[in-house]
Amino acid sequence: MLVNTKNLVSISEANQNFSKIARMVEKDKPVIILKNNKPKYILLDYEEFNKETTGEEEKLEDIANKILMKNLEAFKELAK
């Protein structure tokens, strides 16, 4: 995930101007919220988050299916 360095805001600014920060997310994608001048939180669009996590889940499911198919006989034997 790429982060625009213009989208770094302090936790106080995020707290005081949440609607402004939400508009930044809509326009420029993820906003990094800093706490004590260190990245602490990420605010991102839900659809973007959903795309990122769905892709990972599908990859894990594919890997699991490959392992299952490769070792199907062994799993059947263990199930007895």
Domain of 38 in residue numbering reads as: 1-44
Q: Has residue 70 got a pLDDT over 80?
A: yes
Shared domain for 26 and 40, answered yes or no, is yes
Kindly tell me if the per-residue pLDDT of 25 is higher than 60.
Answer: yes
Question: How many domains does one find in the chain?
Answer: 2
Q: DSSP assignment of 15-63, as one string?
A: HH-HHHHHHHHHHHS-EEEEETTEEEEEE--HHHHHHHHHHHHHHHHHH
Average pLDDT of the residues in 7-23:
92
pLDDT at 1: 53
User: Could you tell me the CATH number of the domain that includes residue 9?
Assistant: 3.40.1620.10
